[in-house]
Amino acid sequence: MVEGRALAVGVIGSQAGIDRLKGRAEGKVRLEAVRTPYGSVDVLRGLVGGAPFAGVAKAIAAPAPPHRMPHRATYWALKKSGCARVLTTSVVTSLDERLRLGDLFVPHDFLDFTGWSPTYFEGGPEGVHNAEMDAPFCRGLSRELVSLARSFGLRVLEEGTVATVPGPQHPSAAECARLAQAGARAVSFSAAAEAKLARELGICLVAAGVTVRGALDEKAWRPGPEAGEGKEPSQAELLRAFAEGREPPPRAEAASAGPRGRRHMQGEKGGARPREAEALKAKLKDVDLRLEEAAAAFVPQAAAMAPCRNCPKGEGPHGL
């Protein structure tokens, strides 16, 4: 941490989300270009709820595919800005029918299927450090965020594992089946990379994923007894139920399910009819706004929390 600066709570989100956080800030805000060994990062600094925050937009300069996101620069810049606690928001694909479109997923662990692992410790002068990844997301921060998100009317699924895939393509139906069998409830493009880097810097991290794509046909991959008797709900019925936050219609009998995986993934861009797509878009916009309200409320709460005794405190690489 840079000496002489008050502890700030870091918030990583979309550019629109960070812009709106700016709108909620009290008094003056300033955009600082923070230099890091991995490039310069624009960090928005200000006060919200009386507490200092440092906000970074995920796609900093230009849209980048997941494997080119400057996570190392982002977390380095936040650490340099005095952040010991960070909330990162993103979007996820649901693998669990309890996690519906528009729901927030706050994972407690990750599975990394990316095949690459960003690190601050590349050997050489930086040395090698084997970060402890037990409980990669901060329990205290996660509890706080879940409670706040619910108070702002969001449906939250807490606890569970998020699988991280390299992208930019979404996983196939067969890959989703494999990930679900491995215990993942949702799929992300960045959760594991972010958790690893935060841990290397000794930052407490909470991740919140908005479900924008969902696996509607659970039977496509899950073994065990099939759902009970009943009429197969149509895709439109399912999407309408998701959009309106209702329980989905009763699940269908196996015989009427049709080819496995045929209706596998649906969501924001997943082939919904125009009316359902509009309803989903409106719902996801509402969810984004509620999440931003929760994030703004999270800053003073996180700033006031007692020092975390659960997350290991990494010393960080040289030069930070």
Supply the angle between the helices 191-200 and 71-80 in degrees, to the nearest 10: 40
Chosen residue from 203, 311, 314, 317 binding Zn ion by CB under 5 A:
311
Q: Are strands 51-57 and 104-106 parallel, antiparallel or unpaired?
A: unpaired
- Residue 190, CA distances (Å) to 58, 89, 168, 187 in order: 10, 10, 11, 9
CB-CB neighbours of 159 under 10 Å: 13
Query: Binding to Zn ion by residue 204, rule CB under 5 A?
Result: yes
Shortest distance (Å) from residue 313 CB to Zn ion: 9
Shortest distance (Å) from residue 300 CB to Zn ion: 17
Peptide bond into 168 cis (omega under 30): yes
Shortest distance (Å) from residue 132 CB to Zn ion: 12
- Residue 215, CA distances (Å) to 74, 180, 261 in order: 31, 10, 9
Shortest distance (Å) from residue 117 CB to Zn ion: 21
Nearer to Zn ion, 114 or 301 (CB): 301
Nearer to Zn ion, 88 or 93 (CB): 88
Query: Binding to Zn ion by residue 179, rule CB under 5 A?
Result: no
Pick the stretch among 12-20, 95-103, 130-138, 164-172 that binds Zn ion (CB under 5 A). 130-138
Shortest distance (Å) from residue 235 CB to Zn ion: 41
Alpha-carbon dihedral angle through residues 262, 285, 78, 42, given to the nearest 10 degrees: 110
Shortest distance (Å) from residue 310 CB to Zn ion: 5
Chosen residue from 111, 135, 277, 308 binding Zn ion by CB under 5 A:
308
Query: Residue 37 and residue 14: Cα distance in Å, rounded?
Result: 23
Gyration radius of the chain over CA positions: 20
Nearer to Zn ion, 142 or 235 (CB): 142
DSSP string, 219-284: GGT--SSPP-SSPPPPHHHHHHHHHHTPPPPPPPPGGGS-STTTT-EEETTSS--HHHHHHHHHHH
Separation of CA 49 from chain center: 23
Nearer to Zn ion, 131 or 204 (CB): 204
Query: Residue 28 and residue 227: Cα distance in Å, rounded?
Result: 56
- For residues 170 and 101, the answer to whether their CB atoms sit within 8 Å is no
Nearer to Zn ion, 192 or 212 (CB): 192
Alpha-carbon dihedral angle through residues 54, 56, 152, 135, given to the nearest 10 degrees: -90
Shortest distance (Å) from residue 137 CB to Zn ion: 8
Total chain residues near Zn ion (CB under 5 A): 4
Nearer to Zn ion, 183 or 312 (CB): 312
Nearer to Zn ion, 214 or 314 (CB): 314
Q: By CB under 5 A, what part of segment 44-83 binds Zn ion?
A: none
Nearest 5°: phi and psi at 53? -125, 160
Nearer to Zn ion, 138 or 210 (CB): 138
Chosen residue from 101, 138, 197, 238 binding Zn ion by CB under 5 A:
138
Nearer to Zn ion, 179 or 311 (CB): 311
Shortest distance (Å) from residue 305 CB to Zn ion: 9
Query: Binding to Zn ion by residue 106, rule CB under 5 A?
Result: no
Shortest distance (Å) from residue 214 CB to Zn ion: 30
Q: Which residues bind Zn ion (CB under 5 A)?
A: 138, 204, 308, 311
